[in-house]
Chain A
Amino acid sequence: MRRNSAFWLQCLLGLGLLALLLLVFRTTQANLELLGVQSGFDFLSRKAGFSIAQHLIPYSEDSPIRTALGVAILNTLLLAVFCIALASILGLLVGVGRLSSNWLVSRLSLAYLELFRNVPVLLQIFFWYYVALRALPSFQSSLFITDYLVLNNRGLYFPFIEFSGGLSISPPAMGRFSYEGGFYLMPEFLALWVGLSLYNASYISEIVRSGFESVPRGQLEAGAALGLRRRAVLRRVAFPQALRAILPPLATVYMNMFKATSLAAAIAYPEIVSVFVGTVNNLVGRPVEVMAVTLAFYAGVSFLVAWLMGRWNERVMRRGQ
């Protein structure tokens, strides 16, 4: 009976909340109308009319804004995936390095942690950006990694790949101002990749270290007593148990890293905040709609990451039993 009334109260509160959201929505709509501001999502099929430096799918100024949004989302995800991969590898190395019995390795790992964890990530990104622009060779003295891969301060150029009646690959061609390739990565991407990865690797290293330290010493000694080699003890005994402590906080870091890709807007990498909240919003003047789409994207992907990590965690926990 008591639980029943609590349930109905919850329902009432939920309904109230829903009504409130509806009210906010209606009031916003009415106010925009009174102000003579046009609203709605029809702008998504309008012709974009602006260019985007880096696009993973075919895009031109004639494409609809919808496609520009797709380009921006893919650029965001590309950056996030690259950062998560690099930060995970670095974080694992540094975290294990902290536990090393080698004095130099453990001190260097500690220095890395203190250096990168204590400086705001936005400053690190600016630093790497200006370093990248200065350190990368100019067009005239471009660096050829192979004949098919050219690096200069305008970016990393990949070969043209065409599928017209069979595969044909031709190297980036030299123009008056720079190379032209089939696809290229901007210096902004490289700076963000390095900046975000180094910063987040410092957090991941702490998670890895604490994960390994949470494994009781007796477990390792037992492994050694069974005659396992040190490497086998680490892989078969320590790592599976450490993983259970590592995964939940790691999910948080991954989500933070994904959201931090929005800092890219500060240095002209065309991800969703730069393209959509910046250029498109200015073009169509619909801040409410533009922000709603952007927020939905971030919330959706974060939720997905959380869910996937949760599933992985469940599997790991089950295996341990």
Chain B
Amino acid sequence: MLQLRRNWHGLATGAAAIGALLVIAPVKAQADTLSEVLERGMLRCAVIEASPGFSSIDANGRRYGFDIDNCRTVAAAVLGDADAIEYVPINPNTAFTTLQSGGVDVFPGGATWTFLRDASLGLDYTGVYLYAGQGFVVRRASGVSRIADLEGATVCVAQGTTNEQNLADYFRARRMKYSIVTFADVERGLNAYLSDRCDAFTTEIFSLAGRVVALRNPGEHVILGEVISREPFSGLVRQGDPRWRDIVFWAFNSRLAAEEFGLTAANVADVRAMTEDAEIRRFLGVEGGFGEKLGLRGDWAYQIVVQVGNYGEVFARHFEPLGLQRGLNALWSEGGLMIAMPYR
């Protein structure tokens, strides 16, 4: 009897466990990220930490950087408050999984727009916000001045990026020999390079510049003038929520439009009060009701410009101190690739 009772006990426990696990339900077919964010009152934004220029923490403990301003841009548009953000620190290896599983609403942290990611990850790109390329840093004393000089060199690289494959493609296409040491993140890879484990360290050129400037002896290192890849960075959202994708796309577009219109954080309030330009009036929500068409408030774009600034201001704030030029990231009218879609 005792034996039997013990078994019933086990069976009951097992049944309870199975019952509890039955709540593993399928996900909702049609996600509604906008409603979730509005209800929460906070935007959950994925950031990669400790990347000078993109994402760092200042002396007062505030997050600061280009990626951070990307998060703030979306929050200003959706919630009217650029600081209503719950930052979710991730590393490049977990970025896509975190986004897929719904842990964050948007990832605007330097993901290169590639075919395979777009086609197979269940994620949507929201438009290019920065054109970068993969570059190399070498020791000045090594005498290397071009990538072609790296024949036979050992190169340190970080995982979770397109850098590993770019490196392989580039060197193989030119029949150049090389050895690779693959680290889990940029920090460790750069440290190994500094310990003379490698002759060069490679990553995307903007974050490379940020990290080299921060070194103890930046003068001992040279960033080579060439890049080996195109790295168009785009925001990422989950697939299957077209309205949310539109919102993120137009939020980023608004910073470019503001620069095009000559609107800055300082003058936008005055311009809104006085302008006769129909497109600017539609843009700032004075007429046309454009914000409502996205499910946002009328002043969504105005909030972006006031709280975050136009694209040129954001770029200058974070990248000019690192000695980086606009280059491809200048407006189309100034020889760059950045173009704002029209507000009509």
Contacts and interface: CB of A to CB of B under 8 A. Distances in A.
Contact of A51 (B151, B153, B167, B196): B167
A130 B188 CA distance: 11
Given A17-B14, A274-B184, A278-B159, A32 B122 contact: yes
Interface stretch (A175-183, A193-201, A236-244): A175-183
Contact of A34 (B4, B26, B160, B195): B26
A266 B184 contact: yes
> Which of A50, A175, A187, A274 counts the most B-chain CB atoms under 10 A from its CB?
A50
A279 B154 contact: no
A53 B181 contact: yes
A233 B65 CA distance: 72
Interface stretch (A22-30, A301-309, A313-321): A22-30
B197 interface: yes
Interface residues of A, number: 59
Interface string B164-207: 11011100100001111111100011001001110100000000
A50 B92 CA distance: 17
Interface in A23-63: 23-24, 27, 30-32, 34-38, 49-53, 61
A23 B24 contact: yes
A110 to B, nearest CB: 34
Given A53-B181, A138-B196, A154-B179, A16 B26 contact: no
Contacts of B152: 175-178, 180
Main secondary structure of the interface of B (DSSP, over half): mixed
A278 B160 contact: yes
Contacts of B199: 177
A53 B182 contact: yes
A133 B21 contact: no
Given A6-B4, A49-B168, A154-B197, A37 B154 contact: no
Main secondary structure of the interface of A (DSSP, over half): helix
Given A265-B184, A268-B182, A268-B188, A283 B96 contact: no
Interface in B1-45: 1, 3-4, 7-8, 10-11, 14-15, 18, 21-22, 24-27, 29
Contact of B168 (A5, A50, A177): A50
B120 interface: yes
Contact of A9 (B7, B116, B197): B7
A35 B238 contact: yes
A133 B165 contact: no
B183 A268 contact: yes
A265 B121 CA distance: 24
Contacts of B140: none
B229 interface: no
A222 interface: no
A30 to B, nearest CB: 5
Interface string A162-206: 000000000000011110100000111000000000000000000
A281 interface: yes
Given A51-B180, A180-B152, A285 B117 contact: yes
A19 B22 CA distance: 11
B122 A37 contact: yes
Interface in A59-92: 61
B120 A38 contact: yes
Interface residues of B, number: 59
Contacts of A279: 159, 164, 182
A3 B7 CA distance: 11
A133 B15 contact: no
A115 interface: no
B239 interface: yes
Given A61-B172, A268-B188, A35 B4 contact: no
Interface in B83-100: 92-93, 96-97, 100
Contact of B11 (A2, A9, A176): A9
> Which of B11, B196, B199 counts the most A-chain CB atoms under 10 A from its CB?
B196
Contacts of B183: 267-268
Given A51-B164, A266-B184, A6 B3 contact: yes
B188 A24 contact: no
A19 B14 CA distance: 12
A2 B122 contact: no
A231 interface: no
A128 to B, nearest CB: 13
Nearest to B195: A133
Contacts of B238: 35
Contact of A37 (B121, B180, B192): B121
Contact of A134 (B1, B22, B195): B195
Given A9-B7, A51-B178, A279-B182, 10 more contacts: A5-B7, A23-B24, A34-B240, A35-B122, A50-B180, A268-B189, A268-B192, A279-B164, A282-B96, A284-B116
Interface of B: 1, 3-4, 7-8, 10-11, 14-15, 18, 21-22, 24-27, 29, 92-93, 96-97, 100, 116-117, 120-122, 151-154, 156, 159-161, 164-165, 167-169, 172, 177-184, 188-189, 192, 195-197, 199, 238-240
22 contacts: A20-B21, A23-B21, A27-B24, A31-B27, A32-B122, A35-B238, A35-B240, A36-B122, A37-B120, A53-B182, A133-B197, A175-B177, A180-B152, A180-B177, A267-B183, A267-B188, A268-B192, A277-B93, A278-B159, A284-B120, A285-B121, A287-B97
Q: Which 10 A-B pairs have the closest CB atoms?
A: A37-B122, A36-B122, A175-B152, A35-B122, A36-B239, A278-B159, A133-B195, A285-B121, A38-B120, A50-B164
